[in-house]
Amino acid sequence: MLLSALPTLLLVPPLNLVALACIGAALHRRLAGRVLLWLGLGGLILLALPLVAGTLLSGLESGFSLVPPDSDPPEAIVILSADEADIRPEAGESATVGHLTLERERAGAALARRTGLPILVTGGVIHPGAPSLAAMMSESLQQDFGLLPSWTETRSTTTWENAQDTAAMLREAHIHSVYLVTHAWHMRRALIAFRAAGLQATAAPVAFDNPPSLAWQSLVPRVSAWGESYYALHEWIGCAWYAWRA
């Protein structure tokens, strides 16, 4: 889940850098205005470099252990929701999970078959009137992977709430150690949240990104790098916020 919309717009580049450059352009006759203009434009150029985007993502995807503790092995698998698919109700399409959520389901299903552990899916309602993400995940896991989740947490709307509500459900089953399935770029923030909720969480990440390359192509700005930088900075800011809350 993303941070709320307004803090995201204010804190996470590149949109705030565009605003900074526009303010600087409007005040270009003053030194402060020219400084703001170059800061905004310089920041936009840097975040468009694949080398910068790759470095930001690579830092998120390292530093966590993939091996569960021998003294406290996982007793369940928690799969975090991510997105829902774009559908056309007028064409008879029904709500279902998006490709990011499906990637997490696939990894969680493989882990469940390998370990025999029960699955918990977590994710609330994104759009009023639509099913919760967890309900769509439960249906998808049954139809696409032949697995029935043991728990379905349908209220949470953020990663922090995912962790708090999941921990409450698992405490009733006397479970406090889990495998946590989410994308590698999201894992650091998720681990902070789940450990703050009192769960021993072992990372089971999905889809590591390639490490940044030092080839000349990585210094050529690309529009796609803006998207990667946005998601990476979103996660780094989220990590700092969650660490402070914890």
156 pLDDT higher than 90:
yes
Q: Shortest CA distance to 12 belongs to which of 51, 56, 55, 49?
A: 56
Query: What do you get for the CA distance between the two ends of the chain, in Å?
Result: 18
User: What is the enclosing helix (H) or strand (E) of 203?
Assistant: strand 200-206
Residue 246 scores a pLDDT above 90: no
Q: Taking all residues of the chain, what is their mean pLDDT, rounded to a whole number?
A: 89
Q: Say which residue, 206 or 88, is predicted with more confidence.
A: 206
Q: What tokens were used for 44?
A: 């936009």
In whole angstroms, give the CA distance from residue 171 to residue 173: 5
Looking at per-residue pLDDT, the higher value among 201 and 35 belongs to 201
pLDDT at 4 over 60: no
Say if residue 111's pLDDT is above 70.
Answer: yes
How would CATH label the architecture of 76-206?
3-Layer(aba) Sandwich (3.40)
- Tell me the torsion sign for CA atoms 196, 122, 144, 84: negative
**Full-model pTM:** 0.87
* C-beta atoms surrounding 78 within 10 Å: 29
Average pLDDT score over residue span 147-155: 96
Q: Give the range with max mean pLDDT: 52-66, 121-135, 169-183, 205-219.
A: 169-183
* Structural contact between residues 70 and 172, judged by C-beta atoms closer than 8 angstroms: no
User: Which residues on adjacent β-strands are paired with residue 179?
Assistant: 77, 202
30 pLDDT band, cuts 50/70/90, is confident
Domain ranges of the chain: 5-61+220-245, 76-206
